[in-house]
């Protein structure tokens, strides 16, 4: 890993998420075994790269539980709401199949500015990603797929408004992405 990068892992697969719209209001649990397994991977990564034993996580259980394991092993654990998933408003926690198609279509028509379920716009998430205060070389983070996608967008397309057809695919659960520290719009 380059010293000018920071690493972000997507949280482990939560219990009960299949088929649901899962955002910032839906605080699903992660089995302890999955959280501990990811914590061990992060610990090994930090050891291999001689990084500080300091982890930043979203306050949502699916991310914070990994940080809690690391804290038990002597790490410093920061919880920061700026690392949370997109807020899908009234859609959050509902089956995608029950969300009216016309509401989804309206969001897709205004992908960057629309507020799905009356929640947070993608533009707001991008601003949150760009102003996250913990970003620095060597930082270790556990966050969410939406946050990671927004961070990738900021790094790869600093001057473009996101469109649905250009939006990247989400990382797998517990996958790590590296980002250049300081690469902001």
Q: What is the pLDDT of residues 133-183, one digit of tens each?
A: 888 889 999 999 999 999 999 999 988 999 999 999 999 999 999 998 875
List strand residue ranges (DSSP E) for the chain, in order.
5-10, 54-57, 76-79, 140-143, 176-180
The answer as to whether 64 is a domain residue is yes
Interval 74-85 mean pLDDT: 98
Total tally of structural domains belonging to the chain: 1
**What confidence tens digit (pLDDT) does each residue in 8-35 have?**
999 999 999 999 999 999 999 999 999 9
What is this structure's pTM? 0.94
CA 111 to chain centre: 18
The answer as to whether 169 is a domain residue is yes
- Let me know: does 5 contact 180? Beta carbons within 8 Å: yes
Q: Supply the CATH number for residue 45's domain.
A: 3.40.50.1240
The answer as to whether 185 is a domain residue is no
Over its C-alpha atoms, the chain yields an Rg (Å, rounded) of 16
The answer as to whether 72 is a domain residue is yes
Residue 2 has pLDDT above 60, yes or no: no
The range of the structural domain enclosing residue 175 comes to 5-180
Confidence category of residue 4, pLDDT binned at 50, 70, 90:
confident
């Amino acid at each position: 890993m380059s010293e000018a990068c920071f690493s972000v892992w997507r949280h482990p697969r939560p219990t009960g998420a299949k088929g649901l719209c899962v955002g910032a209001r839906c605080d699903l649990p992660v089995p302890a075994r999955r959280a501990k397994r990811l914590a061990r991977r992060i610990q090994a990564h930090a050891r291999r790269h001689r990084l500080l034993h300091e982890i930043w996580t979203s306050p949502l259980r699916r991310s914070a539980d990994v940080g809690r394991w690391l804290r038990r092993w002597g790490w410093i654990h920061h919880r920061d709401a700026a690392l949370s998933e997109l807020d899908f408003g009234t859609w959050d926690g509902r089956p995608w199949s029950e969300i009216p198609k016309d509401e989804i279509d309206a969001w897709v028509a205004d992908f960057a500015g629309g507020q799905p379920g009356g929640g947070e716009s993608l533009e707001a998430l991008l601003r949150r990603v760009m102003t996250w205060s913990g970003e620095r070389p060597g930082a270790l983070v556990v966050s969410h797929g939406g946050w990671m996608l927004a961070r990738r967008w900021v790094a790869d397309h600093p001057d473009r408004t996101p469109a649905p057809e250009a939006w990247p695919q989400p990382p797998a659960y517990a996958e790590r992405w590296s980002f250049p520290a300081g690469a902001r719009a």
